[in-house]
Amino acid sequence: MQRNTSFDGKSHTFSRNIYGTTKGRIRLAVLERDLDELLQGLPPGPLRILDAGGGFGPLSQRLAARGHSVVLCDLSAEMLALARAQVTEKGLDERFDFIHGPIQSLSVDELGRFDLVLCHAVLEWVEDQAGLLATLGALLADGGHLSLMFYNRDGLLFHSLVMGNFDYVHADLVKKRRQKLTPAWPCRPDLVYRWLTELGFAITGRSGVRVIHDYMVEREVRHQRPDELVAMELAHARREPFVHLGRYIHVLARKGAGPAPE
């Protein structure tokens, strides 16, 4: 049986704790920069976008406002209700379709293929990660692009080491008590990259998300100088070794056939 995690009952906590904080600003800043650069290199014209497990769609709403059409799928009815309300408030209803259910239930026969698939902070909540990536690959048109952001197990391990949480490390990063917003299946970057390659993807870009924020000794800087912190995150997000120390890693990958855009 496929095991996924729904955020029903936690949607407002999630949106507040994730996007209402400096760490949420960092996430959006990195994703927006990477996607803006990707879109600038594509031919003009509206894209078909799938926001897979997109919650209330903070990024896909911005892309819809730029003229693209979006299918937003999520397992949480509460998240979709929040998305619908925001989409209506912004006058974007004609550019959105909503699907309530697991990503794995989506089919090419019903939806066709997409030019761009977004899957952000979803993979770590799914037990069969390789299977989910295969589903996304099938829904993407040849020459289309995948924007995948996942919770980085290596970053979690390093953070646990520098914090001295050695019992947690000895327990293979498995908590004794489940925390509501702690992903159940942190992702191993080497495995994710291998799965993408096996599915016929070429990785075109990588960025770390929160490569500095989570390791700061002077934590008050997060609140006192958030603009500088976001700028520093952007400056170091694509540089090694920082990329693979990020709490998340954002990967851009292009599917198979056709020449790459110039």
Can you give the pLDDT at residue 122?
96
**Residue 10 banded pLDDT, cuts 50, 70, 90:** low
Instruction: Report the alpha-carbon distance of residue 95 to residue 11 in Å, rounded.
Output: 23
Instruction: Report the alpha-carbon distance of residue 148 to residue 135 in Å, rounded.
Output: 13
Instruction: Report the alpha-carbon distance of residue 128 to residue 160 in Å, rounded.
Output: 25
| Per-residue buried b or exposed e for 13-30, using 16+ beta carbons within 10 Å of the residue's own CB | ebbeebeeebbebbbbbb
- Who wins on pLDDT, 19 or 62? 62
Can you give the pLDDT at residue 184?
87
31, 250 Cβ separation under 8 angstroms: yes
Mean pLDDT of 235-239: 97
Can you give the pLDDT at residue 21?
87
Q: How much is the mean pLDDT over the chain?
A: 90
114, 48 Cβ separation under 8 angstroms: yes
Q: What is the pLDDT of residues 26-36, one digit of tens each?
A: 999 999 999 99
261, 41 Cβ separation under 8 angstroms: yes
Can you give the pLDDT at residue 44?
85
Q: What are the distances in angstroms from CA 79 to CA 60, 180, 218, 231? A: 14, 16, 34, 30
Question: Does the pLDDT at position 258 exceed 90?
Answer: no
Nearest by Cα to 119 from 223, 109, 106: 106
Q: What is the pLDDT of residues 112-169, one digit of tens each?
A: 999 999 999 999 999 999 999 999 999 999 999 999 999 999 999 999 999 999 999 9
Instruction: Report the alpha-carbon distance of residue 163 to residue 42 in Å, rounded.
Output: 43
What is the chain's alpha carbon radius of gyration, rounded to the nearest angstrom? 18
Give me the DSSP letters along 59-106: HHHHHHHTT-EEEEEES-HHHHHHHHHHHHHTT-GGGEEEEES-GGG-
**Residue 175 banded pLDDT, cuts 50, 70, 90:** confident
**pTM of the full structure:** 0.90
Question: Of the ranges 7-11, 72-76, 116-120, 211-215, which one carries the lowest mean pLDDT score?
Answer: 7-11
- Residues facing residue 52 across a β-bridge: 73
**Which one-letter DSSP state was computed for residue 214?**
G
| Distinct helix (H) and strand (E) counts, the chain | 11, 7
Can you give the pLDDT at residue 222?
85
120, 147 Cβ separation under 8 angstroms: yes
Question: Does the pLDDT at position 20 exceed 50?
Answer: yes
Instruction: Report the alpha-carbon distance of residue 101 to residue 75 in Å, rounded.
Output: 5
Question: Does the pLDDT at position 16 exceed 60?
Answer: no
Nearest by Cα to 247 from 120, 147, 155: 155
- DSSP 3-state of 114: strand
